[in-house]
Amino acid sequence: MGRDTENLTQPAITGEQLRLLEKLCNAVAVSGDERQVRRLVMDQIKPYVKEMRIDALGNLLASQEKDSQKPLEVMLAAHMDEVGFMLTAEDDREDGIYRFELVGGIDPRWLAGKPVVVGPNHQKGVIGCKAIHLTTAEERRNAFTVEGLRVDLGGGGAKVGEWGTFATPFQKLGGSIRAKALDDRVGVATLIELLKYDYPQVNLEVAFTVQEEVGLRGAKVAAHALNPDLAIVVDCTFAYDLPLQEEDSFYAPENERYNTRLGFGAAIYLADRATISDPRLVAHFVRTAEEKGIPYQFRQAGAGATDAGAIHLQRSGIPSISISVPGRYLHTPASIVRISDWENTLRLIYHALQTLTVDILKSDR
Amino acid sequence: MKELLKDLVEIPAPSGYENQVRNYIRQSIEPLVDEIRVDSMGNLLAVRRKNGAMRLMLVAHMDEIGLMVTHIDRQGFARFVSLGGVMPIHCVGGRVRFLNGVQGVIGVEKNPTSYEIPPLEKLFIDVGAANAEECPLRIGDVAVFERPFLDLGKRAVSKAMDDRVGVAVLIETLRRMEKSEFEIYFVFSVQEEVGVRGATVAAFGVEPDLGLAVDVTATGDTPKGHKMEVRLGAGPAVKIRDAGMLADPRIIHWMVQTAEKAKIPYQREILEFGGTDARAIQLSRSGVPAGVLSIPCRYVHAPSEMVDMEDVENAVKLLLRLLQTPPRLDSHS
Amino acid sequence: MKTNHISTLLKKLASPPGLSGYEESIANEVETLWQPLVDEISRNRLGSVLGFRQGAADPPRPRLMMVAHQDAIGLMVSGMREGFLRLTEIGGIDHRILPGQLVQVHGKRTLPAVIVQPPHFLLPPEAQEGSVPLSYLWADTGLEEKEVQRLVQIGDPVSFGRNYIELGSDLACSPSMDNRASLCALTLCLQELKGRRHAWDIWAVSSTQEEETLGGAATSAFQIRPDLALVIDVTHASGPGSPSHKTYPLGKGITLGWGPTVHPRLYEIFKELAQKLEIPFKMEPMPRYSGTDADRLQTVAEGIPTMVISIPLRYMHTPVEIVSLKDIQRAARLLAEFAVGLEIDFMDKMKWDETPKT
């Protein structure tokens, strides 16, 4: 089956994993057309899985060899789709210029003046904006809106309905990675890595989901079909750990709304807008991290959602938790993650799966 | 019933962390039902079996709105977000109790330019710690409003009337009921305040033929209040609609006819905002006719919610009658 | 004449009020019309009407679900003062169209009424300028207070006055064209299927409460578990003040939805079919969601490949909605030819390119 269970004591991020992540990040797969990533993943996981299938919405569902002695069925999920845009109409005046609408939560103020890729053939283009010389100071006080911006492909060739996204190439910056779509290609890469190992009490079902960015749709139907004992979602979550601007009155100022911070390890979710993590799973992950000395942080509760939001409400309920890699500037042309945070996330989930037993669900939630 | 209500409202149990109140409820009702269990999400399900009868799911939610700590600053002040619909206007100067027993007060940053209601991000909890090291709180700790039960005779005031009063109605109904026309699942649900989540999975598991939620509703009888016809003291309310659902007309008819026959006062309720567990039941699987028996409540989601004890008593009376009267679900008018 | 027949059918379907949640009148009409066209008629537990046509192939037969929502937007009595009625909405309505609207209050009897806006000196300062919010408008039945209290109660539905107008040779105008125009197309499709052979089992669904919860279609789909689902709804036709890049001309064809809610293979197949049948159509981009029953339908149970076909409609969610009879006919024809053309192994065509061979 190709799984190496003897030599590696725990997973690691080496050149091999970085090269895979690069391929994944450079692929274009906006919510609604996840083909490119799905194909890449299928190639990668073939040696490590017994069964693979694609469901009605396009989710890729895979499972390791099922061992009936193993009492726990665990679902891992990461989403294949990224945020982007769809060409919605040709501009009335110029050829090769298109109106577009956003797919997923993108702040329009990050869009102007960026290179983009459109369509299955990665056609190159830009989201341009008028030269500053042709603007007034008054005008520049107002933010750009999607209604006012256009995708310019420098000539025809693209069709209304095609998807596109940012054209940022993957790049390693010392101990960090800068790329687009780290949300959630880093999760996808993590799942691929985890599939290479064997877990004593756990039959692993892996869902590479679609359409997370437009409403957790793939995860909903995947969870309904798999109906596991519990689920672990691996995503990439915002890090707003930037410096403050203003001075506080009496004390030195602190950024209190960082959500997560780069360099502080795997982010464990307690609660977001869509899910209150099962406390039994939270306790298990915290225990595992402490015992193995893996750096971890609690993602601040409040906004946001992951596939767990849809998964945990399926059928009669599925105990769920999300563990994410912190990332800066998600849903913008260029995001940044720390390789150490990724490695710690990978290791934390690996060890948590290794030590999972059926006792975890014995006590009432 | 006041004693029962007092016990229930004073237990701290915010969305996602309902164990304490669930234990209390379980102890109260275990001897009264044929089966009882806790599902994977923490809902408490208690069954009065009756093979072959229509299956009715009654639901009241155990959780109350609460707060979760997101950050402890160097000086030991705690920042937080809400679990459920906590409104900033109800927080400033209020007291909170954490599940680990720690108590504190909610303070607010000064706004030099206006007295507008600040958003939650400008509030913080002060537990009297000198600095972060001495602060007994951690990121993720959860708290609820701290307000004792207040007996005003005809009326009662407390935090968490939403929906402990519904829980009390169900428990009291269980205590007094004799036979019924239905097989009844008494469901005490979790996480209603964050999106009727508990009821969603409970309804899928129970597969009822009809569903009835018992929850609070707002009133229109306070100075320049909501534009609503519901008033405290005019009886429990039969919900026609809220922002989450249109109650099934057959269920409305069933409730109204039963109340009129038994001469129990009732009101017809339209709520232009909000939702209840009944929505989750209505949309479950192939659909379930669903409605709501509402308890009028002033100041919903404030630390001091007020109900009328006669309304509560009449709600129990109406529910007991409903359990003896099968509805007509075949026709739709 | 073909379009006369369509207009007559459309008028029949547009007439019953059938407000979301109070749909008995339209459900009964649909049942009456569909009874001779299907093998079995039934109601889902929430009230959707289900019409079943058995396929001709040997079992096990795959299932096709075609759904159009039957409910319409309107208002509801939320309070009474001195014989005047306060109103709340069912579904989304621009309040500015309400002053002067003729309505029907469905109390113990159907009472005609008019919605009125008070003069400014009877309004609080914050409501005097600009458009008056719904909570300050009244419905006046013209009856004395005692009569009103006897005949009307809180929760009674209030529908727009029925007024079906033919405009020119192709257009029809009435309240509730959203979505009765689609129901008309679905009914015409069933009329066509009556004389034709189809391999698949076909479920025609007239769904409840689309305007409120999208609940009718999803719960019906959970019951039926179709292999494919087609949603017929209306989309925005071009008109005064509407942006041209988001609207479609009346009478010039239907739209085929494209986006995450729609299965891309289904779109391709419908596109080819429409071209073959010479039915004019446009692709309607739906980058995030469709705003139709498809949004909940697609993720029912283990997921259902879904298609959205839309009929352009001008002045949506007002009492004067306009559609083209020709467009209704086009939609009906497309649905019927698709259903008839479904081979027993059609689902093989729905496999994703990279589906692993087992």
**A319: which chain B residues are within 8 Å (Cβ-Cβ)?**
40-41
* Residue indicated by tokens 């390791």: A64
Please report the pLDDT score of residue C315 as a whole number. 93
Q: Sorting pLDDT into bands at 50, 70 and 90, what band is A250?
A: low
Please report the pLDDT score of residue A247 as a whole number. 60
Q: Which residue did the predictor score with more confidence, B261 or C132?
A: B261
Q: Enter the ipTM.
A: 0.89
Distance CA C88, CA B227 (A): 10
pLDDT for residue A8 is more than 70: no
Q: In chain B, what are the domain boundaries? A: 2-64+159-322, 66-145
Element (H, E) at C101: none
CATH class of C74-160: mainly beta
| Structural domains of chain A in order of their starting residue, each with its CATH number | 5-82+180-361 (3.40.630.10), 84-166 (2.40.30.40)
Q: Sorting pLDDT into bands at 50, 70 and 90, what band is B312?
A: very high
Please report the pLDDT score of residue A133 as a whole number. 85
Q: DSSP 3-state assignment of A191?
A: helix
Q: Sorting pLDDT into bands at 50, 70 and 90, what band is B323?
A: very high
Number of neighbouring beta carbons within 10 Å of residue C52: 17
Average pLDDT, chain B: 95
Q: In chain C, what are the domain boundaries? A: 3-72+176-349, 74-160
Element (H, E) at C312: strand C306-314
Name the residue among C66, C93, C55, C56 with its Cα closest to residue C212: C93
Q: Which residue did the predictor score with more confidence, C292 or B115?
A: C292
Q: Sorting pLDDT into bands at 50, 70 and 90, what band is A134?
A: confident
pLDDT for residue C124 is more than 80: yes
| pLDDT, average across residues B206-222 | 97
**Dihedral sign, CA of C54, C60, C61, C62?**
positive
Average pLDDT, chain A: 92
Record: contact A257-B68, CB cut-off 8 A: no
Please report the pLDDT score of residue A7 as a whole number. 43
Decide if A131 touches C, using CB distance below 8 A: no
Q: Sorting pLDDT into bands at 50, 70 and 90, what band is C2?
A: low
Q: Which CATH number fits domain C3-72+176-349: 3.40.630.10, 3.90.1010.10, 3.90.79.10, 3.40.1190.20?
A: 3.40.630.10
Record: contact C24-B288, CB cut-off 8 A: no
Q: Sorting pLDDT into bands at 50, 70 and 90, what band is C282?
A: very high
Identify from A37, A162, A217 which residue to disrupt to test chain C contact, counting C C-beta atoms within 10 A and taking the largest count: A217
Please report the pLDDT score of residue B237 as a whole number. 98
Nearest CA in chain A to C243: A147
| pLDDT, average across residues C187-208 | 97
| pLDDT, average across residues B140-164 | 96
List pLDDT tens digits, range A253-285. 788 889 999 999 999 999 999 999 999 999 999
| pLDDT, average across residues B27-39 | 96
Please report the pLDDT score of residue B81 as a whole number. 96
Please report the pLDDT score of residue A3 as a whole number. 45
How far A302 CA lies from chain B's nearest CA (Å)?
A: 6
For domain B66-145, give the CATH superfamily.
Peptidase M42, domain 2 (2.40.30.40)
Q: Residues B18, B64, B172, B192: which is the catalytic one? A: B192
How far A224 CA lies from chain C's nearest CA (Å)?
A: 6
Please report the pLDDT score of residue C131 as a whole number. 86
Average pLDDT, chain C: 94
CB-CB contact of C204 with C36 (8 Å): no
Q: Sorting pLDDT into bands at 50, 70 and 90, what band is C171?
A: very high
**A223: which chain B residues are within 8 Å (Cβ-Cβ)?**
none
List pLDDT tens digits, range C41-54. 999 999 999 999 99
Q: Which CATH number fits domain B2-64+159-322: 3.40.630.10, 1.20.120.160, 3.20.20.220, 3.20.20.140?
A: 3.40.630.10
Q: Sorting pLDDT into bands at 50, 70 and 90, what band is C213?
A: very high
pTM above 0.80, yes or no: yes
Per-residue CA distances from C88 to A355, B296, C114, C125 (Å): 56, 20, 15, 22
The verdict on whether A162 is a catalytic residue reads: no
Please report the pLDDT score of residue C1 as a whole number. 42
List pLDDT tens digits, range B90-136. 998 899 999 999 999 999 998 777 778 889 999 999 999 999 999 99
Please report the pLDDT score of residue A96 as a whole number. 86
**A271: which chain B residues are within 8 Å (Cβ-Cβ)?**
16, 68, 83
pLDDT for residue B315 is more than 60: yes
Distance CA B221, CA B236 (A): 15
Please report the pLDDT score of residue A95 as a whole number. 81
**B16: which chain A residues are within 8 Å (Cβ-Cβ)?**
271, 276, 279
Q: Is the peptide bond prior to B163 cis by the omega test (within 30 degrees of 0)?
A: yes
Distance CA B252, CA B260 (A): 12
Nearest CA in chain A to C261: A32
Name the residue among C260, B283, C229, B280 with its Cα closest to residue A215: C260
Query: Percentage of chain B with pLDDT > 70?
Result: 99
